[in-house]
Structures are given as C-alpha cells and as structure tokens.
Chains A and B, each alone.
Chain A
Amino acid sequence: MIAWSQHLITLPILIPLITGAGLLFIPDRQRLSKAMVSLAATITLALVSLLLIELSRESNFDGVYPLGNWGAPFGIVLVLDRLSALMVALTGILALPVIIFSLARWHSAGAHFHSLYQFLLMGLNGAFLTGDLFNLFVFFEVMLTASYGLLLHGSGPLRVKAGMHYIAVNLAAALLFLVGVSLVYGTTGTLTMADLAERIPTLEPDRRMLMEAGAAVLGVAFLIKAGMWPLCFWLPSAYSVAVAPVAAIFTLMSKVGVYILLRLTMLLFSEGPSAGFGSEVLLYGGLATLAFGTIGVVASQALARIGAYSVLVSSGTLLAVIGLNNTAATSGALLYLLSSTLTLGAFFMLVELVERGQDAGASILAVTMEFYGEADDDVPDEIQGATMPATLAMLGICFAACAVLLSGLPPLSGFVAKFVMLSALIGTGSIGVHPSGPALLLVALVILGGLATLIALSRAGIRTFWSSIEGTVPPVLVMEIVPIMLILALTAALTIRAGPALDFMDAAVHAIANPSIYSEAVERAAPQPPWRDKTLQGSGE
C-alpha cells in the first residue's frame, strides 16, 4: 500500500485543476465567491507545497508516484525530489501574494482570470513534478495556453500585439519540442526520464548522433522559454505589457525552462560518451544573455521594462552556471533562483503601484476599460477599502529593498545567493587551483550586471520618488502593498536562514548530480496491486 503522504504528490496538480475547472461554472458576476474559492485553493496549494518540502527532506528520495498504478517504463510517473519540491514550493509561495494582489483590482479586468490562473499553476506544478518527457510537453502546453489567456487579460492594443508575438513564438517552440521528443523517442525507445538516463550512456554511436540532435532541438524549445539570447526578443515586450499580477507569475515561467534544462543536463548528460553535451551552448548563451540583459536594464526607461530585462539577467546567470557544471556553484544558483524569482515577482507588482500615479499607467488602464466595455462599472475607479498610510514612504522602502535584492547588495538574500555562487566560481580555499576563464568571465559579468541594475534602479527611483513633477501620491490599498511586503519579508527570512536553505540546495544538487539515485528510485516504485499487499508485507518489503 502506498503511504498516504505519497498521494500528496498529486495535489499540486489536482488542486488547481479541480479549482480552475470548477470556477468556470460560477458566473463572472459572482466575483466575490470566485475570488474566495480561488484564494482558498491557492492557500491550500501553498500549504501543500510546504508539506512537500518537508516530505522531500525526510524521506531519502522516495517521492515517486506511479499514476494509475502503472510502473515506470510503461506508465507515467510523478517524481518529487528536493529540486522539484523546491520549485513547487516556490510556485505555491509566489502564487499566494500574487493572487491577493490581483483581488484588489486586476482580477476584474477581464473574463475568467481565476480559472486561467489556476490552470497556469497546474501547468507549472505538473512540469516540475513529471518524470516523463511527453507529459512534460502536455503540462508545458497547459501552462502556455493559460499564459496566452493571462497575457491578454485586460486587453488593449499593446497586449494584443505582444500577445500575438508571444503566441507565435511559443507555438513554434512547441513544434520544436515535439520534434525533439519524437527524435529522442525514435532513437532510445523510451520517454521516461529515469529510463532515458540509463539508456543514453549505452546507446550505439549511429543512434547517438540522432539522439543528440533531438536533445539539441528539445533544448532550443526550453531555451526559448528561458529567454536565452538570440531567442529572447519576445520576452521584454510580453512581460512589460502584461498586467502586474500576471507579469509577477510569469517570472516563474521563465524559470521552468531553466529548471528543465538543469534537470535534463544533469540527468541525461552527466555520464557516458555524451557527458557534457550542450553545456558550452548553455555557458556561452548564458553569458550572452547576461550581457544583453545588463545592457537592456541600463537602456530601459520604463520600470516594467527594467523588470523584464532583469528576468533576462537572472535567466542568463542561471544558464551560464548550469553550463559550467560546478555543483557548488549550482547550489548557489538555486538559492539565487529562489531569491531572484521572488524579488522580480514583487518588483512587477510594485511597478504597477508606483506608476499608478503617473500618466502612462493610468492611460493603459483607461484603454483597458474602454475596450472591455461592460466592465466599466465593475472596475472600481475609486478606492474601495482601506488605503495605505504613508504611501510614498512604504512604496519607497519596498522599491529600495527590491533594488538591493536585484543588484545583489548586502544585507538581503540577493547578496547571499550571489556571494555563494561567486565564491564557488572563483574557488576560495583551494590554493593553487586557478578558476577557469569562462568562470571568471561569468563572475565579471554578474558583478557588472549588479552594478548596472543598481544604476538603472537608482535613476528610476530618483525620478519617481524624489523628483516627481506632479507630486501626486497614488492611492494604494493595504491589500496591494501587503503581498509585496510579504514577499520581501520572505527574502529577509531567506537571508537569516540562508545556512539551512543552502544545505537543502546542496542536498538537492547532490541528488540530481547522480542520475542513478533518480533512476533507481523510479524503478523501485513498481505498481503495487492491493492483492499483493500481504505477500509484500510478508517478505518484509
């Protein structure tokens, strides 16, 4: 019999699926009940994801769930190890503040916001948990389809234009994904990741070339999602025009690509003749992305675009570290992933609040309402509920905290994460061992990127808070500022508890760096028909 806790693994997929589908049957007019259902589901999801973290820590990697009770090579499995638990937890933790933020205003700017949001969460969690390449495609598509709807949420010409580019790029990427998956299947005869990890090192040379071609095509699909430099031109415009809560949750989507690349390179290409396949592309592509993102951050005027280019900086850093294949640096990179995703989520929400008092933000909202005609009387123009006292001071403090986090200055978690990464790259403590050239280049670029972010954000902050011409204070609800402060408090907590967090990351990287642990765990999870229970228990299993 599977322990009850095993079934928890399915919940991050099932909760959003059932909630999202159920919400479709509540008419849009009953906005409050929709919002409450969605909020309750998201709270549950956050709690479950934290439980899963605990689960992945105590059990020595046994989080394999055979769906429908079919064993691994033939059936589909969900796999919960530390890395996937971390990503699911990040989703749950970021999803909660974002949905609270959206309840203040944005969720009523279009139809079916909550359903789409839940489906997006389902796709994200599924992509993190699945142990099967084709299922990954399905969850990827669920996530993308929901994201198409969310990007268009609020409508308006800018969003429709950016949405069209986004959809076209991602449809093409999905086709590449399919080509890659089918080539990998055609050469290895399996789609289960654990099975692939075992078969790839022993593949015949003539098939190996085709398999590597397939893996490369597959990688391109993920790199488009992660926003590697020449494949990233859709990203800044899409992220900067999306409504604030959507942009905040989109920061997580670019991390899906990074996660899959990390998982697959570690799992499939760490042993055998194909070891290290594609790592140079990741390294140099990551460096180029980092440089491009840095230039973009400095060149941007609008705050939302600075945020979007910061997403690229974050992706570039992560990709380059994955390409270096340095386990100590990778665990630092996971900490950086956690910190930068949370920060960017908060930043995108903050940008909307800061710009609310300015003309640009207001005019977009006005266009939105004009286009979405019937919502005119639904969207509250005036403040409804408690407003924040000392608004400008609060916004300023949050903005400064975001700037410190993004540029990686002490004392917050952005600094700790970058410090761990950089010290692993330079190689402190090991005298006589010279760091490699690319590693030093990465170190230089990361530091330059931090400096550029600091310059850009100081400039924007001075313009917004100190030398604001109109001097109007934007009305900000408590409900909108509290989620942002919640996220910032989380990053502060991450700074204080950086030690235990880093231990967790180390264990996670150690687990994924040994493909045999993963494969054996998946093979152990054979189907257990109830009628075999007694014999199994009898044999001490």
Chain B
Amino acid sequence: MELVLSIAIGVMTACGIWLILRPRTYQVIIGLSLLSYAVNLFIFGVGGVKSNEPPLLGDGVSVSRLADPVPQALVLTAIVIGFATTALFLVVLLASRGLTGSDHVDGRSDHR
C-alpha cells in the first residue's frame, strides 16, 4: 500500500516537473495539475496510510487505530484552492492565446 502510494506520487511528480518545463502553455497547465495531484496524495500520506479506520473517536475505537483527520481536512482545502487557481490559470492561458496568437509560454511562435 505505502509502496504503491509512493510510486504513484513519484511518477506523477516526475511527469509534472517534466511537463511544466515544456514550452507550451497547455503542457504547463497539465504539469501543474499533475503536480497538485501528487502533492494532494502526499499530504494524505503524511497522516499514515490506513484503510477502513474512522477519523473520529467513538465507542469502541482505540486512539492508536484512529485515522488522522487533520491531513484529510488539509487535503480538502488544498484541492479546493488548487481548482480555483487552475481555473484562473486557464483563463489567463486563453487570454494569452488570444492576444499573441501563440500558445508558447513567452507568447512568441517559433513556427512563423
């Protein structure tokens, strides 16, 4: 379980970093999305990987087996903020495309 999670985070981070270094805006935004998924999984992972455990104390729940609720709350916030900023970046990307007629991150087209 831990191994699968770490490999997933690692692969997504590697792809994300490669993509944000590419010259096209679309690649950059996909790279940023992949990176944010990786980071979200990472936040989730720091609470300890547990399955089928309750995040709240109740009857018959021992403290040692509790799933840490804080990273879950953090990851929710991070997802929401990530959505908002990605949407905003998309708008800027489209504006840049409209103004420069190119999807290069520096606004210059290397074909023409």
Contact = CB atoms under 8 A, between A and B. Distances in A.
Interface of A: 134, 137-138, 141, 144-145, 148-149, 152, 155-157, 160-161, 163-165, 167-168, 171-172, 174-175, 178-179, 181-183, 185-186, 191, 371
Given A148-B88, A172-B35, A178-B78, A165 B20 contact: no
A17 B85 CA distance: 19
B85 A160 contact: no
Contacts of A137: 77
B85 A167 contact: yes
B92 interface: yes
Contacts of A182: 42-43, 46, 71, 74
A152 B107 CA distance: 15
B67 interface: no
Contacts of A171: 32, 36, 85-86, 89
Contact of A175 (B35, B70, B92, B99): B35
Nearest to A141: B81
B30 interface: no
Interface residues of B, number: 31
B93 interface: yes
Contact of B100 (A161, A179, A185, A186): A161
B39 interface: yes
B77 A138 contact: yes
A179 B88 contact: no
A157 B99 contact: yes
Contacts of A168: 20, 28, 32, 89, 105
A157 B100 contact: yes
15 contacts: A134-B74, A148-B92, A152-B92, A163-B92, A167-B88, A167-B89, A168-B105, A171-B85, A171-B86, A172-B32, A172-B35, A178-B74, A179-B42, A182-B74, A186-B46
A164 B92 contact: yes
Given A167-B88, A168-B28, A174-B81, 16 more contacts: A145-B88, A160-B95, A160-B100, A161-B96, A163-B92, A164-B92, A171-B36, A171-B86, A172-B32, A172-B35, A175-B35, A175-B36, A181-B74, A185-B70, A185-B71, A191-B70
Interface in B58-99: 70-71, 74, 77-78, 81, 84-86, 88-89, 92-93, 95-96, 99
Given A134-B77, A157-B99, A174-B85, A179 B107 contact: no
Contacts of B32: 168, 171-172, 175
A161 B89 contact: no
Contacts of B46: 182-183, 185-186
Contact of A160 (B36, B86, B99): B99
Contacts of A157: 96, 99-100, 107
B22 to A, nearest CB: 11
Interface of B: 20, 25, 28, 32, 35-36, 39, 42-43, 46-47, 70-71, 74, 77-78, 81, 84-86, 88-89, 92-93, 95-96, 99-100, 105-107
Contacts of A178: 39, 42-43, 74, 78
A332 to B, nearest CB: 37
8 closest Cβ contacts across the A-B interface? Answer: A186-B46, A182-B43, A157-B99, A182-B46, A161-B107, A160-B96, A175-B39, A141-B81
Contacts of A160: 92, 95-96, 99-100, 107
Contacts of A185: 46, 70-71, 74
A156 B74 CA distance: 37
A179 B67 CA distance: 20
Contact of A371 (B77, B99, B105): B99
B99 to A, nearest CB: 4
Nearest to A186: B46
Nearest to A148: B88
A172 B32 CA distance: 7
Contacts of B28: 168
B110 to A, nearest CB: 15
Contacts of B78: 178
Nearest to A152: B92
Contacts of B89: 164, 167-168, 171
A141 B79 CA distance: 12
A192 to B, nearest CB: 11
Nearest to A176: B39
A67 to B, nearest CB: 15
Nearest to B46: A186
